[in-house]
Amino acid sequence: MGDGSSAMTMILDGKVHAERMLGEVTAAVEARAARGLRPPCLAVVIVGDDPASHVYVRGKVAACARTGIRSVERRLPADTPQAELDGIIAALNADPLVDGILVQLPLPAGLDSKRALHAIDPAKDVDGLHPVNQGLLLEGLPGLRPCTPSACMNMLRAHGVELKGIRALVLGRSEIVGKPMALMLLEQHATVTIAHSRTRDLPALCREADLLVAAVGRPGMVEGSWIKPGAVVVDVGINRVEDPALGEVIFAADPGKMKTLREKGGVLCGDVRFQEAAAVAGAITPVPGGVGLLTIAGVMANTLQACQAR
């Protein structure tokens, strides 16, 4: 192909799969309207002024508009007291017109995110982070499941990736991606390993993986030489790289990214060195244009699910 990736490498396009998922949600919202039912409604709570968080929330609000889901935004200053956040969550829990509640993470220092997540009505917990929903996932029962891993599973299914009996490596053990992803892969009969910052001999372990899911938030940590030839690589990391010295290392095979970094002063990069990995992998998700878009589609799907279940 001349771009460093082999002719056999499939780029798993997050936009294609996100569009498909959003289309399904739109059709279901229209079917509700045809039966005289109100649209689903998502409430997004955003505290403070983290610019990345505002970009993500804008993406979610735009996806709501596209699918016909109502959205309400609660913007709170960074110094909001916990009691006030608790009160806002309680009011959204009690509001019969609100189906889904999403508290954008991370919360500013001084606010207890566990406490906020535990305060959300599990039936409205579209992030799937309430212990009741985590427990249902652990039991293999239906419930609201974290959007990023469930949308990744949806993409892998649509792509016909065989999971039964394969070796899957999940790099990262967060509540929102790593742990639930591992459980969902296990449910599909993959042999799952969870690796993390303390794992020994990580490159060798990665080289055994038929499916590698990277979710650590460390730009370009996974090198091309870590990938098993033909493996499926799902890159959940979304990192902004501004340091040209770091760029020279992780974009050695990617002059395009290096050029963007120089011109724009920064560039988005996954946890995987895309060009290096694409030369070895059978299929790989890009960043941007991969899992981030799927995550938003997953939020819409969960909001619909929460609405239908009421």
Q: Which is nearer to ligand GUE, 50 or 84 (CB)?
A: 50
What are the start-end ranges of the E strands in the chain? 10-11, 41-47, 70-76, 100-103, 167-171, 191-195, 211-214, 232-235, 239-241, 267-269, 283-284
Q: Which long-range contacts (CB under 8 A, 24 or more apart) does 139-146 make?
A: 140/187, 144/302, 144/305, 144/306, 145/180, 145/184, 145/302, 146/175, 146/176, 146/177, 146/180, 146/298
Give dist(CA 176, CA 173) in Å, integer. 9
The one of Mg ion, ligand GUE, none whose footprint includes residue 292, by CB under 5 to 8 A per kind, is ligand GUE
Q: Which is nearer to ligand GUE, 5 or 104 (CB)?
A: 104
The one of ligand GUE, Mg ion, none whose footprint includes residue 197, by CB under 5 to 8 A per kind, is Mg ion
Closest residue by beta carbon to Mg ion = 196
Task: Show which residues are catalytic.
Answer: 60, 104, 127
Q: 310 a known binding residue? A: no
Q: Which is nearer to ligand GUE, 182 or 190 (CB)?
A: 182
Q: Is 193 in the site for Mg ion (CB under 5 A)?
A: no
Q: Which residues sit opposite 211 in a β-bridge?
A: 168, 232
Size of residue set near Mg ion by CB under 5 A: 2
Q: Looking only at residues 30 through 69 of this chain, which bind ligand GUE when binding is defined by CB under 6 A?
A: 55-56, 59
Q: Looking only at residues 62 through 121 of this chain, which bind ligand GUE when binding is defined by CB under 6 A?
A: 102-105
The one of ligand GUE, Mg ion, none whose footprint includes residue 196, by CB under 5 to 8 A per kind, is Mg ion
Using CA atoms in the order 292, 298, 303, 307, what is the torsion angle rounded to 10 degrees? 170
Q: Looking only at residues 191 through 250 of this chain, which bind ligand GUE when binding is defined by CB under 6 A?
A: 238
Binding site for Mg ion (CB under 5 A): 196-197
